[in-house]
Structure 1
């Protein structure tokens, strides 16, 4: 999985779902680190520390070291997440500064307890505030069993040391509870969120693969159409040209007729290739509707199709079939849709096809040469149809094609 480049400079609407969730998760982790430091360290110390030089000095150092620890945790959060998601390898000593700050904060907390500079509850809360920033990082780096084993050893060590400083059963039990809370919080709040992110990225990669497969299938279809058009004609041209050469060498006047036939076939081939390139071959609307539903659902996009294509004139089905195909392809390639609806209905003497999706940016790009909105409008003009496309709400894009039932009998060829 490649790391996202330039994510800081991109607008929220330009991000994929996975990028949005990841950014929100990182922001929550950043906030959580400072929240616990403020609620469990700063507030208790400001209200409970003894007004003596020793406790005041230790308390001030604790608050300063806690702020530095939070800043270091925030600095290492993204590299640790990238390591967990397999985007980058975390250097072996990357967490050494965070570990040293944890040890320093715990030592200051122990000194505060020995000096009697604050009540037992405040001392324990300060210890918990020191454990959480490091636990949130360490829980993503090592396996779960190792994390639980190391947390249990740390809990026993802290209970023994602080129990020596303040031999109180309730206080020792509180140390164990706070260590268990920090362990569980790091696993359930952070590691579970990271696991959900990994699953979401995997699903998004699968969707991208489906989109690429859909594009590749469209290219194969185009290649087959081109082969069907040109294969036979080129074979006939080659045979007739060879025959004309043989007749010309013998001085036979039939050579001219053969070359005239070669010229006619070449001109027909040129027109047929032009029709294939511009997509003017017949497209079955029923097949296109079923194919669009299958491809979108395979890509993880909920697709609802309503209406029947049976009974419509062939030229109407062909024109609207291309609208369905182009719109579906662009939902896969350009959008971030979670839902797409395709509705076909008859309104008076006109057939109305509506394709709507909730993927911001999934509009068909304007481009010439028979692609995008330009190409669709060109096809619909061939049957006296119209096309409207644009955003109709926050992130909702709609394509509406209307074709008269009494339209022209065939799609007109458009010369280049």
Structure 2
């Protein structure tokens, strides 16, 4: 058994509650027989034997209580063997006390009733508790032939059962709170891991996609004998160094999502991949700058990964961010459907990264995200391709920084 100083707060509450129940049982029985000491003058040996039998009954009650406490809050299986031994000792004590005098019989009945109520009061089966209270009340009524005493004892028994039930209920609440705190800590760790994995996807995924595009372009130029292949490989090296730098910042927790940096990075990456970029993002409200940066980063990553676009337009106006590319319609539509990153009407699949994960991050802020193919038929559409649209209310429902961490 560990020392008190080595126990946690919950373990201390548990030990204090259980030890208090045991001490009350022994103390109450000892007080009953101590108050009847005047009867020992007439039959000292017999009274001593009754006290010894009462001590054995109390020890049996303590062992039974241990099993009852271990069973709580379940209702089965009941420790019938321990209950049988305890019941046999109760019968022996009452019979022995009744054979001596009326006074010792009363002490024996009071001991049996109190010990039974205190020991079995921790059971969760209400039927057993009702039968226990009625049985003890009937026992006192038969032995005392006094209705008032029987009613008084019934009230005492109910109080004892109530005390045990409340003690065990409080102990259960404390234990559940401790388990909930542990689960909350584990959830916080899981959320932090999820946030980190999404940052890795958003930050490194875009760089790696750019490296892949640049490397393919360099390989094509090398096959043609183009002299600009060295310049393309230098661009690959520069992008790789940028990816390494961002990975180190991400691991150290220093990297913050900045809209200006994301827009500059989008221009650089798309241009290096041979894609024309048109950026018109101005006057973004301060609370929305970071969420807008999320959308820009993920949209550019998708363009590099899933399309063969030649032109990308990024625009913001009246609380709406639009990222449009002119890549082939069928290829992007099939990729979006497979990855669960569409407009949100289907069930979606995947691990929660990509546009689907971004939509989940924007939802607590009150923003919405749609991703859909375009045909150029609607007013203002630049032509066929694919479009990502994020709509932002006047103010976020909760801080964007908190959403970024929880995501």
The superposition leaves residues 196-250 of structure 1 with CA deviations (integer Å, 9 ceiling, x where unpaired) of 2222222333333322222222222212222221011010011111122222222
Is 1:23 aligned to residue 5 of structure 2? no
Counterpart contact for 2:14–2:171, Cα < 8 Å: yes
Gaps of 5+ in 1: 1-7, 164-168, 285-416
Counterpart contact for 2:39–2:47, Cα < 8 Å: no
Structure 1 residues 283 and 255, CA gap change in structure 2 (3 angstroms)? closer
Q: How far, CA to CA, are the matches of 1:232 and 1:34 in structure 2? A: 72
1:36 corresponds in structure 2 to 28
| Larger deviation, residues 270-279 vs 243-252 | 243-252
Q: How far, CA to CA, are the matches of 1:65 and 1:185 in structure 2? A: 26
The superposition leaves residues 43-99 of structure 1 with CA deviations (integer Å, 9 ceiling, x where unpaired) of 134332343xxx444322221122122222223333312211349954443422222
User: 1:173: how far off?
Assistant: 4.3
> Of residues 143, 152, 167 in structure 2, which corresponds to 1:177?
152
Q: How far, CA to CA, are the matches of 1:48 and 1:40 in structure 2? A: 12
Counterpart contact for 1:40–1:126, Cα < 8 Å: no
Q: CA RMSD in A?
A: 2.8
User: 1:195: how far off?
Assistant: 1.5
> Of residues 2, 5, 8 in structure 2, which corresponds to 1:9?
2
Is 1:203 aligned to residue 195 of structure 2? no
TM-score where L is the length of structure 2: 0.57
The superposition leaves residues 309-338 of structure 1 with CA deviations (integer Å, 9 ceiling, x where unpaired) of xxxxxxxxxxxxxxxxxxxxxxxxxxxxxx
Q: How far, CA to CA, are the matches of 1:208 and 1:88 in structure 2? A: 28
Structure 1 residues 50 and 177, CA gap change in structure 2 (3 angstroms)? farther
1:9-408 matched pairs, under 5 angstroms: 9=2, 11-12=4-5, 14-16=7-9, 18-41=10-33, 43-51=34-42, 55-86=43-74, 89-113=77-101, 120=103, 123-161=105-143, 163=145, 169=146, 173-174=148-149, 177-181=152-156, 183-282=157-256
Structure 2 residue matching 1:93: 3-state secondary structure: helix
Counterpart contact for 2:61–2:86, Cα < 8 Å: yes
Counterpart contact for 1:79–1:88, Cα < 8 Å: no
1:383 corresponds in structure 2 to none
Q: How many positions carry a matched residue from both structures?
A: 258
Q: How far, CA to CA, are the matches of 1:87 and 1:252 in structure 2? A: 82
Q: How far, CA to CA, are the matches of 2:38 and 2:20 in structure 1? A: 27
Gaps of 5+ in 2: 259-407
Structure 1 residues 264 and 10, CA gap change in structure 2 (3 angstroms)? farther
Counterpart contact for 1:128–1:179, Cα < 8 Å: no
Q: How far, CA to CA, are the matches of 1:76 and 1:283 in structure 2? A: 62
Counterpart contact for 1:110–1:162, Cα < 8 Å: no
Structure 1 residue matching 2:81: 3-state secondary structure: coil
Counterpart contact for 2:109–2:140, Cα < 8 Å: no
Structure 1 residues 149 and 219, CA gap change in structure 2 (3 angstroms)? same
TM-score where L is the length of structure 1: 0.56
Which has the greater radius of gyration? 2
| Larger deviation, residues 271-280 vs 199-208 | 199-208
Q: How far, CA to CA, are the matches of 1:94 and 1:252 in structure 2? A: 92
Counterpart contact for 1:124–1:175, Cα < 8 Å: no
